[in-house]
Structure 1
Amino acid sequence: MKHIKTYYKRTLDINGNHIIVEGPVDSKTLKQYTFDSGLVAFRMPSKQFIAIQEIADLEEGRIIICRDKNNIIGYTTYLYPDPLERWSDGQLPYLLELGAIEISADYRAMGLGKAMLELSMLDDMMEDYIIITTEYYWHWDLKNSGLDVFEYKKIMQKMMAAGGMEVFSTDDPEITSHPANCLMARIGNRITNDQIQAFDNIRFQNRFFL
């Protein structure tokens, strides 16, 4: 499956700052910018910056960023699912995972997550994909948000809905291990019934699941 990446860019005026939302960007572009020290959700910022550069150069990889001048303050990643997770079963070339979405603490509650997701879906090629995201409460910044897991879940689901994502049921053990976890997906409008069936077969691998 050929992965064509069409670049988009938007400028948001937030509190007098001009925030750029753009992508997909390649590693060469990323290296021109700095990576905010508040982007700490997954690993040390310096290491995470290297990780998203590597994703950007994957054939299927897509990195959407938001930046304040030349400082990256948020990012979203799209790539094939981790080979160690069930979502890679069948190696479906039309299944992409929204692997991470992060915004630096000083820039939250500004609608930047929603803006990145909306920009991601401007590309018509996304209609050829099923985009999934696995939401696990242990990845959420509950401490600094002051929210409980279910309040945070509502916020995450509302944000993901901006990118056309909907909740899908599954018997995946990691998802079902806690009621705050969930699977969300966006089915592109050129996805066939056979492709949807293959996705359903991955979602449900326990035939006794009700």
Structure 2
Amino acid sequence: MVSESMNIELLSLFSTQQLPYPLHSGLTCFGENDEQYSRLQRLLAEPYTQVCIAVHEEKVIGYATLLPPEPAERWSSLPYVRIMGVLEVAPPYRGRRVAYSILQHLFRNDEDIERRIVLAFEYYWHWDLKNSGLNAYEYKNMLKQLLMLSGMEEVYPDDPDIHAHAANFAMARIGREISAEQMQRFFYMINPRVW
């Protein structure tokens, strides 16, 4: 977990709640600071949304989103599937297990998350390779290890964006209360050719 001397607070926000703090100026991987803040507020206005934030000195220094699939996505017909969207930590706070703590908080043992399959698509063009000092494959390995520590396992969708580059990958976390039938339907949708 995050070092207690840093005094970082982890909060879960759900639909209809507001972001209580501004974003750290270093959170720019997915757009300008104000743009990201507005996007997060719009997401929180949507149903079935969860945003986990890490707060230090009254600023959001990192966050992850958990969303229902978009209506056009094939998994939208599975009400138990959620998509893990953005996971970002401001550069000054990286290497301090903030991302790990966010994911642990997001996936903490509660009844709701155990009735879900959480799907994460990881595309190298979203990664902050410049500030990380890693190449795409090193970053992939680091991110895959982080997600595995959070209970996710690699899945192999027949998704063109995943196959667009060898560093891209997908992972899923299967909740303990997911039935065999739900799992089978999910894996069939991930890659029907395997079935």
TM-score w.r.t. the length of structure 2 is: 0.91
Q: In the alignment, which residue of structure 2 is the partner of 1:138?
A: 125
What's the counterpart of residue 81 of structure 1?
Answer: 69
Determine the C-alpha separation between the residues in 2 that align with 1:108 and 1:120.
18
Identify if the C-alpha distance between structure 1 residues 127 and 12 changes in structure 2 by more than 3 Å, giving closer, same or farther.
same
RMSD after superposition = 2.0
- Is 1:195 equivalent to 2:185 in the alignment? no
User: Does the alignment pair 1:119 with 2:105?
Assistant: yes
Number of aligned residue pairs: give it: 194
Q: What's the secondary structure of 1:109's corresponding residue?
A: coil
Instruction: Note if contact 2:18-2:41 (Cα within 8 Å) is conserved in structure 1.
Output: no
Looking at structure 2, the residues matched to 189 and 12 of structure 1 have their Cα atoms a distance apart, in angstroms, of 26
For residues 46 and 134 of structure 2, what CA distance do their matches in structure 1 show?
Answer: 36
Offset from partner CA, 1:33-81 (integer Å, 9 cap, x none): 1111111111111111111122223221000000112100101000012
State the Cα distance separating 1:175 from its structure 2 match: 0.7
**TM-score, structure 1 as length reference:** 0.85
Q: Residues 2-40 of structure 1, C-alpha deviation per residue, up to 9 Å, x if partnerless? A: xxxxxxxxx9435x421111213566441x311111111
TM-superposed CA distance for 1:138, in Å, is 0.5
Give the % identical residues: 35
2:88 is aligned, of 102, 118, 125, to 102
Contact 2:14 2:49 in 1 (8 A): no
The equivalent residue for 2:3 is 13
3-state SS in 2 of match to 1:98: strand
Return the alpha-carbon distance in structure 2 between the equivalents of residues 12 and 143 of structure 1.
24
In the alignment, structure 2 segments of 5+ residues that lack a partner are none
Change (3 A) 1:43 1:84: farther
Which one-letter code corresponds to 1:13 in the other structure? S
Report whether the alignment pairs 1:168 with 2:155.
yes
Equivalent residues of 2:15, 2:46 under 8 A apart: no
Contact 2:15 2:49 in 1 (8 A): no
Contact 2:27 2:90 in 1 (8 A): yes
2:33 corresponds to which of 23, 33, 45: 45
Unaligned runs of 5+ in 1: 1-10
What SS does structure 1 have at the residue aligned with 2:11? strand
